[in-house]
Structure formats: C-alpha cells, structure tokens
Structure 1
C-alpha cells in the first residue's frame, strides 16, 4: 500500500491523457477528412491558416499536459514520477476549458464553415470576464455567498456581529 496516492494520481492521469489523446485525434481527423472530402471548395489556404492559428493553442496544451502529467515509471516497474494533477483548480482548469471549447469549435467549423471560427473568440472574452470579476471581488470589502447575498466582513462572525449590535461583550467578575 506504499504510495497509494501516487499510484492513484498516476492511474488517473494516464486514463485522462489517453482519453484526451483519442478525442484530439478523432476530432482533428474528422475535421480534416470531412473538409477534404465534402467541402473541397472551402479547403483553401485561408482555411489552413485559420486552423493553424486557432487550433494550435489546444494542440500545445495537449503537448504540455503530456509533458507535465504523463507518469514516468522506473525500470523496476515502480512509479518514478506521477506527474502534475490534471484535476487541479486554477490554470489547469482554464486549460481544460480551452481544450474542450476548441473541440466544440472544430465541430462547428466542420459543419458551418470558416466563419464559425468567430466563436473561438469567446475564449479571450471569457478570460477578460474572469479577470474582471476577480479584480472587482478583491477590490470590494465584503463578499457574496453562492446565492449572491452580501456577507459581513470576513473578520467578523455572526456571533461577533450580534455581540457588537448589543453593545459589546459584558465581562462578569466573581
């Protein structure tokens, strides 16, 4: 049972990276086969340039995930390095969003044509919105709970707020 967490992380990373690799190959090959066989008129230099510019970030992200998160095994079969956690919050989560959005956008472009690449522009808009909400959340003094209800300052609990409302805490001496 030694290194159970490392083994679990390595197995989860391997499974997720294999699924991502298969999905990437299937979607990109489907895009190229469908465009080459059915929409030959739209198979132009402009189409190739748009594909290279807008699909390359997703391909680079997949390469980054492979490089950082693919487990490395030692010669004796033990796990040398489990890799970075692919379920991590923050930047990793955002990179997965880009990957999935590019998959969906490739399917849209496959069926609707090159003009559908405009939907890929929602990724930078989402980044700006995320940065703005983070900035405004840090700037404001209080915070809101999940329902959007403003909460008191983080330093005061409900009990402290009640005590302050009643005039402070009374000290009793015996």
Structure 2
C-alpha cells in the first residue's frame, strides 16, 4: 500500500469536489428555472445582475481555487501523481467553504422569496470584518486584562509543580 495517505486524500477530494459540483449545478439551475418560469414577472434585468454579482464569488472559489488546488492529478498508468490540497483544512479553506455553502442557501431563498433575500449575502463580509477587527485588537492589546495591565502567561500545572519543588534541576550522568 504505497502512498496510502495520498490515495485517501485524492479519493476524499474527488468525492467532495464532485458533490460540490452537483450542488452548485442544482442550486443555480433551481434559481434560474424557478425565477424564469414561475416568477417570470419579477425576473428582471436587475434580478439577473444581482444573481451574477452575488453568486460570482462562489463560482470563482469553486472553479478557480477548489478545482485547481484540490483536484488530484493522475499519471497515465492510473497512480496518483498529486493528491491536491486538503479541502478539509482549517483556516482560509474552511472560510471558503462557508462562503460556498452560504451562497447555496442564499440562492435557494432568493429563488423562492425574491431579490430581497440577496441581502443575506452581506453577512459574510460583515463576519469577516468582525473577525479581522477582533484579531487585530487582540494582537494590538497583547495579553492584558480589562484594565490594560499585562498579564503573565498562565503556567501549566506541570510548570507550577516544578516551581513549587524548586524549579528545574539539571541531572548529570
């Protein structure tokens, strides 16, 4: 079983990318068909522009980031050449998945109730701004209490026990 981790990651990435591709197709077709066929009177140029502007980030993330970095490549004999980046990674990748799924939800709601549901898309940039602000303020203030007094890093229980015994002692052999 050579490269088992690579093969497992490649299989996981393919499954997740294919599922996302099917979900994207379903939600975008659902929106376009429902708005064009059932709600024809409210499907205007403005509605189409809102759809394009609000769903563009999800489409760019899916096709320019996830497909390029996460889709595995194979050699001609069928073995995994490159498994792709881990699509379950924390941090930025997790945030990009949040944008993708939030867009799917907004597409579904906007298809049923109308264009005003696109206002839900403002939640993502507001959340990002709040995270950036709290991270910046936390780093700027350092580790201080409410009064602004710097607090020492809390020692672990092991460190506390060692200090109680007189600190760390060197052992010579």
* Same fold, judged at TM 0.5 (above): yes
SS of the aligned residue for 1:89 comes to: coil
Aligned ranges for residues 121-160 of structure 1 at < 5 Å? 121-142=122-143, 153-154=152-153, 156-158=155-157, 160=159
Whether the 8 Å CA contact 2:7–2:80 is kept in 1: the answer is: yes
SS of the aligned residue for 2:86 comes to: coil
Over 3 Å counting, the alpha-carbon distance change for 1:170 and 1:34 in structure 2 is closer
Rounded Cα–Cα distance in structure 2 between residues aligned with 1:130 and 1:108 = 26
Rounded Cα–Cα distance in structure 2 between residues aligned with 1:156 and 1:10 = 42
SS of the aligned residue for 1:169 comes to: coil
Runs of 4+ in 1 over 6 A off after TM superposition: none
Shift of 1:141: 3.6
Per the normalisation by structure 2, the TM-score is 0.85
- Which residue of the partner structure matches residue 23 of structure 1? 23
- Which residue of the partner structure matches residue 114 of structure 1? 115
Rounded Cα–Cα distance in structure 2 between residues aligned with 1:83 and 1:106 = 29
User: RCO greater where, 1 or 2, for CA within 8 Å and sep 6 or more?
Assistant: 2
- Which residue of the partner structure matches residue 49 of structure 1? 49
Matched residue count = 163
1:57-110 alpha-carbon deviations (Å, 9 max, x no partner): 000111021111111111011111101110011110010000000000011111
Over 3 Å counting, the alpha-carbon distance change for 1:171 and 1:98 in structure 2 is closer
- Which residue of the partner structure matches residue 78 of structure 2? 77
Shift of 1:153: 3.7
1:100-150 alpha-carbon deviations (Å, 9 max, x no partner): 00000011111111111111000100101111222233234439xxxxxxx
Whether the 8 Å CA contact 2:162–2:168 is kept in 1: the answer is: no
Whether the 8 Å CA contact 1:69–1:85 is kept in 2: the answer is: yes
Instruction: Give unmatched runs, 5+ long, in structure 2.
Output: 145-150
Rounded Cα–Cα distance in structure 2 between residues aligned with 1:56 and 1:163 = 57
Shift of 1:154: 3.5
